[in-house]
Amino acid sequence: MHAEDDFADTSIRETNKRFMSAFADGKAGDVAALYTDDGQLLPPSGAIVAGKPGIAAYWEGAMKQGIARIELGTLELDHQGATAIEVGRARLFGKEGDTAAAVKYLVVWKKQNGNWKLHRDIWNSDGA
């Protein structure tokens, strides 16, 4: 592994920590700031959500529906130049600390202005 690879891995993992922290603090705008300017969410059973304002509104809606916290866990991380692909699992928790959902996800990351940002974010349920 090269030093640049270590930097990318560390940066992406740190961005995931900022995502989890901002979500737990109810700051949907801060979550959306972690996406590229032309980032997209590809939620299950829903339309593509494009751009930071739309992404902020989507995550704010999830918070209003009772999702209080998200735990992200990277399973695989592969990168080539200014693009990285992350495969992981996430658990979503309600306000009482109960597990609301378990999902698997794939994120395409892009390096934008020297920072790793979520570019395409897709997930689906592990089931009932």
The confidence score (pLDDT) of residue 7 equals 67
Q: Check pLDDT > 90 for residue 76.
A: yes
pLDDT category of residue 58 using cuts at 50, 70 and 90: very high
Mapping DSSP to helix (H, G, I), strand (E, B) and coil, where does residue 127 land?
coil
Residue 97 located in a structural domain: yes
pLDDT category of residue 1 using cuts at 50, 70 and 90: very low
The boundaries of the domain holding residue 34 are 3-123
Q: Are 31 and 19 in contact (CB under 8 A)?
A: yes
Residue 25 located in a structural domain: yes
Q: Check pLDDT > 60 for residue 60.
A: yes
- CATH code of 88's domain: 3.10.450.50
Phi and psi angles of residue 93, each rounded to the nearest 5 degrees, phi first: -120, 145
Longest CA span, the chain: 43
pLDDT in tens, 104-124: 999 999 999 999 999 999 999
What residues pair up with 116 in beta bridges, in sequence order?
A: 111
pLDDT in tens, 3-53: 556 667 899 999 999 999 999 999 999 999 999 999 999 999 999 999 999
Residue 128 located in a structural domain: no
Task: Indicate the average pLDDT of the chain.
Answer: 93
Residue 17 located in a structural domain: yes
pTM: 0.92
Number of domains in the chain: 1
The confidence score (pLDDT) of residue 8 equals 79
The confidence score (pLDDT) of residue 4 equals 56
